[in-house]
Amino acid sequence: MSSEPAAAPRRPHPVDRRAVRPMVPRSRDEPHRVATPLELFFDLCFVVAVGQAGRELAHDLAAGHYGDGLRGYVFAFFAIWWAWMNFTWFASAYDCDDVPYRVTTLVQIAGVLILAAGVPRMFADQDLTLSVVGYVVMRLAMVTQWLRAAAGEEGAARGVALRYAVGITLCQIGWVVVLLLPESVRSYVIPLGILAELSVPVIAELRLRTSWHPHHIAERYGLFTLIVLGETVAAATVAVQSAVDEHEGLGRLLPVAAGGLLICFSAWWIYFAREVHEHLRSNRQAFLWGYGHYVVYGSAAAIGAGLEVAVESAVYKAHISETAATATVTVPTAVYLFTVWLLHARHAKTGVEQALLPVASLAVLACTAAGGSGVLVAGLVSAATVAVGVTLHARG
């Protein structure tokens, strides 16, 4: 994505039912452009990897291994998010939904499942092999999609597709080389690999940007937010169930469960309080919004990991203090609230409403000082934020 204007995309033939169709750009103004069943399946499979990363983060945090846990989580989540986001924007422009397109997408799904299988090894032993193999499978499948797009394009648009294909391929060669390096060197090289991945869209679309559909993109991002929040609820539920099975009584678990549910419900409400597709008018706005969701998704999934830690702390299984356990919930919740406000909530707010979410994020962060009851207090603050927001909007 870049700030340059796009060429007028050509419309695919909606009545074309052939097994193989020409891959040409879809119109940015196409009516009734919604997520497809294949895209929903794609998202559901990706959340398996999100769940694995969250569980491993929870394990490290509960053991007090903050640095190792956060480093592993940031790297694993980048791989998941980057592959998901690249496909999402590509599909918004070129989805032709024929047999080769579907098969290639299923290969990408296979790649994310391989990546997910390697996440525990990456956290426990710093063994990147399986995760990198899965990531490379996903990204090389994306290369074939861009080559198909190049075959159906001409001129500058063809150049964009080819630059994507070449850039992604070079990055994958780099990740394979990383596996051959000593572990002591990898920590310095991995950030360079991430920067290289991030630079591919900038270079590829320097002169001409690809087409994308604002409503479709907003819906795809919203659906993935729902799935990540659902994984957060599921992770917290499993943690509570395991604690109940191993320990008698719910007295210490109920506040964590109640606070966690309030946080998750509030996170959903706040994200979907306003439609955002009308804000995505320019490529610059879409660039900042789309990339910023790395923090939204990462913090949302981290809330689930934090709730697992809080549950373990409530039944005296965590090796950290109650305050530290509470912080594993309050910190990602505060980050989530502030980032959602920064990316799109603020564009539909005026006056006092504009300050609501930044103040709420600080208030949630302050709940850390409440120790064992901090999760419940943070949940109540989140729910109160929703109530105040609804009231202010109704009065406005």
Q: Would you tell me how many other CB atoms lie within 10 Å of the CB of residue 159?
A: 16
Q: Are 71 and 291 in contact (CB under 8 A)?
A: no
138, 148, 130: which is closest to 171 by C-alpha?
138
Question: What tokens does 54 get?
Answer: 């969250």
* Beta strand spans in 296-380 (E): none
CA distance 162 to 159: 5
68, 93, 319, 297: which is closest to 214 by C-alpha?
93
Q: Are 20 and 94 in contact (CB under 8 A)?
A: no
pLDDT at site 283: 72
Residues 6+ apart with CB under 8 A from 341: 357, 358, 361
Where do we find the tokens 């000082």? 369
CA distance 34 to 92: 9
138, 279, 287: which is closest to 206 by C-alpha?
287
H or E element in which residue 51 lies: helix 37-62
pLDDT at site 21: 66
Q: Are 194 and 244 in contact (CB under 8 A)?
A: no
46, 36, 33, 32: which is closest to 224 by C-alpha?
46
CA distance 25 to 132: 31
Residues linked to residue 209 through DSSP beta bridges, in sequence order = 6
> What domains, with CATH codes, occur in the chain?
37-204 (no CATH), 214-395 (1.20.1410)
Question: What tokens does 217 get?
Answer: 């993109």
Question: What tokens does 303 get?
Answer: 């809330």
pLDDT at site 81: 94
Where do we find the tokens 């074309």? 16
The DSSP code for 10 is P
Residues 6+ apart with CB under 8 A from 246: 315
Cα Rg, the chain, nearest whole Å = 22
pLDDT of 151-203, one tens digit each? 887 888 899 999 999 999 999 999 999 999 998 898 889 999 999 999 999 99
CA distance 180 to 322: 41
Residues 6+ apart with CB under 8 A from 53: 72, 73, 76, 77, 80, 119, 301
pLDDT of 95-130, one tens digit each? 888 899 999 999 999 999 999 999 999 898 888 999
Judge residue 171's burial from the number of C-beta atoms within 10 Å of its C-beta, 0-12 exposed, 13-18 middle, 19 or more buried.
buried
pLDDT at site 18: 53
pLDDT at site 206: 86
Question: What tokens does 392 get?
Answer: 């202010």
CA distance 156 to 386: 47
pLDDT at site 10: 46
Per-residue pLDDT tens listing for the chain (396 residues):
433 344 444 444 444 445 666 777 777 778 878 889 999 999 999 988 999 999 999 999 999 999 989 999 999 999 999 999 999 999 998 888 889 999 999 999 999 999 999 999 989 888 899 999 999 999 999 999 999 999 887 888 899 999 999 999 999 999 999 999 998 898 889 999 999 999 999 999 888 888 888 888 989 999 999 999 998 888 888 888 877 777 655 777 888 989 999 999 999 999 998 777 777 777 777 888 889 999 999 999 999 999 999 998 888 888 899 999 999 999 999 999 999 999 887 776 767 778 899 999 999 999 999 988 999 999 999 999 999 999 887 876
pLDDT at site 84: 94
CA distance 337 to 325: 19
CA distance 200 to 207: 13
Residues linked to residue 6 through DSSP beta bridges, in sequence order = 209
Residues in the chain: 396
pLDDT at site 184: 85
The DSSP code for 26 is P
pLDDT at site 249: 57
Backbone angles phi, psi at 214, to 5 degrees: -55, -45
Q: Would you tell me how many other CB atoms lie within 10 Å of the CB of residue 293?
A: 21
